[in-house]
């Protein structure tokens, strides 16, 4: 069964460093999303991406964040200068067609900022 | 307006019992309501979902009941099993962009 994959599973970085989180969405899916989950809290929307551009972003997704689909398979989230409060699980999700609605999530990347 | 309120925060059920988790929303622009199951250290897994033109959807032991006028929906897990012990999140989808708004989550523990 097709699934969303994410790498790395765990990333430790120092405050102020740049990190890139990688995702491979389900092939032939067209809509891509990043969410984050701070430990013990709910899942929060960060950004949606379609047709090589951002569709919508939350107030969390400030200028320190960027997304990119560098090729036909990968979808990346970059945090330019990490802060302690960026420590969270980051989930990538994808869906096929808007009408299908279902979003499938990857296993997540645990980001720890020290 | 974009919040989804979920209760209870935690739930303990005996094996074989019925687990019931409730969610409420305000925004009538939500057009799709999925439930996700999450095990520790894993990503949310889509469990079952419903659209607002349907009042109930059943898949195996899992049933969503949807009350459009009350703006409430609930997940019922029949014959709950220890393997169902996980955190359950309700969510609601806003059509523009398709983002999901999640509830706070319910930690379910099914005792043998």
- Using one digit for the tens of pLDDT, what is the confidence trace for B23-70? 999 998 898 999 999 998 889 999 999 999 999 999 999 999 999 999
CATH architecture of B1-55+84-95: Sandwich (2.60)
Contacts made by residues A56-59, CB under 8 angstroms, sequence distance 24+? A56/B96, A56/B97, A56/B99, A58/B99
Digitized pLDDT (tens) for each residue of chain A, 114 residues in all: 779 999 999 999 999 999 999 999 998 888 999 999 998 889 999 999 988 999 999 999 999 999 999 887 899 999 999 999 999 999 999 998 665 678 999 999 999 999
Would residue A4 count as lying in a domain? no
Dihedrals phi, psi of A35, to nearest 5 degrees: -130, 160
Q: What is the CATH number of the domain that holds A72?
A: 2.60.40.10
Contact between residue A101 and residue B33 where contact means Cβ atoms under 8 Å apart? no
Q: Token pair for residue A54?
A: 């951002």
What is the residue-wise DSSP string for chain B?
Answer: ---EEEE-SEEEEETTS-EEEEEEE--TTEEEEEEEEE-TTS--EEEEEE-TT-SEEEETTEEEEEETTTTEEEEEESS--GGG-EEEEEEEEETTTT-EEE---EEEEEE-
For chain A, the domain total comes to 1
Residue showing tokens 């960026």: A86
CB contact under 8 A, A102 and B34: yes
- Within 26-45 of B, beta carbons closer than 8 Å to A belong to 32, 34, 36, 42-45
Q: Where exactly are the structural domains of chain B?
A: 1-55+84-95
Would residue A87 count as lying in a domain? yes
Which residues from chain B sit within 8 angstroms of residue A38, using beta carbons? none
Contact between residue A32 and residue A93 where contact means Cβ atoms under 8 Å apart? yes
Structural domain span for residue A58:
10-100
Distance CA A28, CA B24 (A): 33
């Amino acid at each position: 069964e097709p699934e969303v994959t994410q790498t790395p599973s765990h990333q430790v970085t120092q405050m102020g460093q740049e990190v890139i989180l990688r995702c491979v969405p389900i092939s032939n899916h067209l809509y891509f999303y990043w969410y984050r989950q701070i430990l013990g809290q709910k899942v929060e929307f960060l950004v949606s991406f379609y047709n090589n551009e951002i569709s919508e972003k939350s107030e969390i997704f400030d200028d320190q964040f960027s997304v990119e689909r560098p090729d036909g398979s990968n979808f990346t989230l970059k945090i330019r200068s990490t802060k302690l409060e960026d420590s969270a699980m980051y989930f990538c999700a994808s869906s096929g067609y808007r009408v299908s609605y279902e979003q499938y999530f990857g296993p997540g990347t645990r980001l720890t900022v020290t | 307006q974009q919040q989804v309120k979920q209760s209870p925060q935690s739930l303990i059920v005996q094996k074989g019992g019925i687990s019931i988790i409730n969610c409420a929303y305000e925004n009538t622009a939500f057009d799709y309501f999925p439930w996700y199951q999450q095990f520790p250290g894993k990503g949310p897994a889509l469990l079952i979902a419903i659209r607002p033109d349907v009042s109930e959807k059943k898949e195996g032991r899992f049933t969503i009941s949807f009350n459009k006028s009350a703006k409430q929906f609930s997940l019922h897990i029949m014959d709950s099993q220890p393997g169902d012990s996980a955190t359950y999140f309700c969510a609601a989808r806003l059509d523009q962009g398709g983002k999901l708004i999640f509830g706070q989550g319910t930690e379910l523990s099914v005792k043998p």
